[in-house]
Amino acid sequence: MELYFSPLACSMATRISLYEAGIEATYFEVDSKTKRTRDGRDFRQINPLGLVPAIRTDTGEVLTENAAILQYVAGRAPSGALAPTTDWERARLQQWLCFVGTELHKALFGPLLDPNAPDGAKAYALEKGMAGLEMLDAYLTTREFLLDEFSAADAYLATVLGWAVVTPVQLSKFPGISAYLKRLYARPSVARAFTEERSLYLEEQARRATI
């Protein structure tokens, strides 16, 4: 499998999941500004939207969208490593992948991280996003993970919440979320993915500074 990713972007959720499940993959870094891979290819040929993550399967098919990719990877992982096995729990996994993808990733952090988003859009996103954070905080206060065990939804949530530090979202106001995030970043798959991608991110920033 090939993973097209940008350092510290949402694609890190797939890297975490691959590490967690012990699945081998080839990683191709995409510059989110130029839409080129480090080896000079036009990433839009792979995903016309230019958005990471994208994967290419061993049979050559391309898949995009976090929720779909994470479930595809979970399907290739040892049973129970990234996704539960009952229909009900699978639906709960889907519920959390949708929540993280739509309410947190796109609706809350999307405008906050977009340098072109108007201040009003950022303020609106922050205000609207509070209900989701409050719900999550109450839920995580009594739970170790989103489901009974670690799942691909935790990989996605840990990735997205990690962006809070560069936004006005103050996770210190949410003790349940803060404790969850600390636990997750101490997990070997998350710690490894974060350490590797942070250094790639810093290298990318250094390259851009010289252009």
Ligand X SMILES: N[C@@H](CCC(=O)N[C@@H](CS)C(=O)NCC(=O)O)C(=O)O
The least CB distance from residue 72 to ligand X, in Å, is 12
Q: By CB under 6 A, which span of 49-57, 121-129, 139-147, 184-192 interacts with ligand X?
A: 49-57
Question: Does the protein bind ligand X through residue 9 (CB under 6 A)?
Answer: yes
60: exposed, middle or buried (C-beta count within 10 Å: 0-12, 13-18, 19+)? exposed
The least CB distance from residue 105 to ligand X, in Å, is 7
Closest CA to 140 of 181, 86, 190: 181
Question: What are the phi and psi torsion angles at 164 (to 5°)?
Answer: -55, -35
Q: Could you say which of 2, 31, 65, 149 contacts ligand X (CB under 6 A)?
A: 65
User: H-type helices in 50-164, by residue range?
Assistant: 66-76, 87-98, 110-113, 119-141, 152-161
Question: Does the protein bind ligand X through residue 7 (CB under 6 A)?
Answer: no
Q: Could you say which of 2, 36, 37, 50 contacts ligand X (CB under 6 A)?
A: 50
Question: Does the protein bind ligand X through residue 66 (CB under 6 A)?
Answer: yes
Nearer to ligand X, 51 or 193 (CB): 51
Question: What are the phi and psi torsion angles at 110 (to 5°)?
Answer: -50, -60
How many CB atoms lie under 10 A from the CB of residue 206? 9
The least CB distance from residue 124 to ligand X, in Å, is 19
> What is the rounded distance in angstroms from the CA atom of residue 133 to the CA atom of residue 147?
17
> What is the rounded distance in angstroms from the CA atom of residue 19 to the CA atom of residue 87?
25
**Interaction residues for ligand X, span 19-48 (CB under 6 A):** 32
The least CB distance from residue 152 to ligand X, in Å, is 13
Nearer to ligand X, 66 or 189 (CB): 66
**Interaction residues for ligand X, span 70-89 (CB under 6 A):** none
Nearer to ligand X, 25 or 179 (CB): 25
Closest CA to 196 of 5, 2, 1: 5
How many CB atoms lie under 10 A from the CB of residue 170? 11
The least CB distance from residue 86 to ligand X, in Å, is 25
Where on the chain is the footprint of ligand X (CB under 6 A)? 9-10, 32, 50-52, 65-66, 101
